[in-house]
Chains A and B, each alone.
Chain A
């Protein structure tokens, strides 16, 4: 992606002509819009993967990514650090998903102490699909703990970057992650809970 050369602090673009008034709709110029589309093309699938880990649902993941992109688009012209675009969209996505917890209450999709049925898929060696079991357990975590786990263990973000994405302190990230890992450990089926390392 060639973002850095376009979204500079001056607001000047290759065309040398600001089309805000021409479009009459949104303070994003055609040049900026092209960069936005370029960003989406490059990062959409990665964002969808993270969204899927946050939502466990194909449609919800697609909606989440689209909404996050729409909100990012509205501020695209303010983006002065193109390298931060990915983190910016991810942060919107995580916040949007976390804020949905209120709406999720109504649909009874909030985390519960009652675990869903464990998957029984057998792997090639005839054993229980351990990763499916772990994924099933991850889905039982409260939204913020789950987001912390996804950002730390899937996105491989630092505690500071995770705190930034979640809009909270590093200490909060540590406590959310720690509690999530403790919950996962406590829920791992006893016959599988062997020789596991410590949480970070």
Chain B
């Protein structure tokens, strides 16, 4: 490499690029794939319900009696403006949509799938690509974990005193009030202490801080280079550009429950005085507060990596978790609902579901005295075990043996 380094690099890239595959025109394949993406995002009411009969009956599904991992049609999930039957806009006209609308999760009958792609907590071990990182603490003391830049950041809770630690690379312990949270790309880790929000840049270990006015932060979301903070004292949504000297409140937001990674949408929950629901959520444009869609049936937990889908659960979590999780599309229409069988003796709870990818969801599930991580595929409408099933679990007594990271 006797020539200029930049030129060597450019030359190497140009030369390597010539080895790119030469393939037939991809437009047809791309269009087919696009239509497949659209299809699985659409589930609608009347037309769909009629269509599913033709599908469900031949394969033995019985109406009102969902089999293990079986699928039955569901009514529209939300009260958005496009929630009616097929309105002629081309949506919801594909019978195949419905096969993925409802999944009944029964741990003992689920097939075993691949291990999670995402890091997860197994007792006191953080599992990353099958490699355990031993956090070396009592699992019961771990209150929140995240993973960024090759390091696990976690808090231990000693009678309410939270301490931020890290492994395998050990940082100086920090007394914190809430956190930690990591950015989707794993670059930033945030926590709060003494009324300040602090963000560690794992690229260079620099820490940026800003006053946020409250000790406890309900959540921190990263969207591109913006950080959104829900301040716990009054649920105010604050926006902060890392490095700025102050945060800015986002007007018109009552209680933000999720911000989309593309920095465009926010899920805003508000109380209602209604016999049918006590709270509703509006998905709004961050730019102007315009309502994109709303739901009074589910609360919104988080957006998908590409912001096209949301994860939701029932309006209020039960003591040990949510009785179901749903995935809704960018119109608020139901893509998938996963719930346990209707069995009072073996209650099912879902805790802390996350998107593993744009097409798969991971969720810890407790069922009776069993627990496991479960993956649901939005393209097939089927769920599988992503970990072993652990017996002897009491979901009402402490956390489940498997936890997905914040």
Contacts and interface: CB of A to CB of B under 8 A. Distances in A.
Interface-central residue, B10, B23, B29, B262, by most chain A CB under 10 Å: B23
B16 interface: yes
Contacts, number: 182
Interface residues of B, number: 58
Contacts of A50: 17
B224 A167 contact: yes
Contact of A69 (B27, B114, B119, B306): B27
Contacts of A69: 26-27, 30, 34
Name which of B20, B117, B262 has the most chain A CB atoms within 10 A of its CB: B20
A49 B19 CA distance: 8
For chain A, the bracket of interface size reads 35 or more
A52 B118 CA distance: 25
B20 A51 contact: yes
B30 A66 contact: yes
A71 B117 contact: no
B397 interface: no
Given A61-B20, A62-B26, A106 B4 contact: no
Contact of A99 (B2, B262, B357): B357
A135 B9 CA distance: 8
A66 B33 contact: yes
Nearest to A170: B225
Interface stretch (A8-16, A22-30, A78-86): A22-30
A70 B31 contact: yes
Interface string B179-204: 00000010000000000000000011
A53 B23 contact: no
10 contacts: A24-B93, A33-B31, A37-B27, A40-B26, A52-B19, A71-B37, A72-B30, A73-B30, A99-B357, A103-B117
Interface of B: 1-23, 25-27, 29-31, 33-35, 37-38, 88-90, 93-94, 114-115, 117-119, 128-130, 185, 203-204, 224-225, 262, 305-306, 356-358
Interface of A: 20-21, 23-27, 33, 36-37, 40-41, 44-45, 48-53, 58-59, 61-62, 65-67, 69-74, 95, 98-99, 102-103, 105-106, 108, 110, 130-135, 138, 144, 149-150, 153-154, 167-169, 172, 175, 179, 181, 184-185, 188, 192-200
The 7 A-B pairs of least Cβ separation, nearest first, read A196-B5, A69-B30, A134-B12, A52-B20, A70-B33, A105-B129, A49-B17
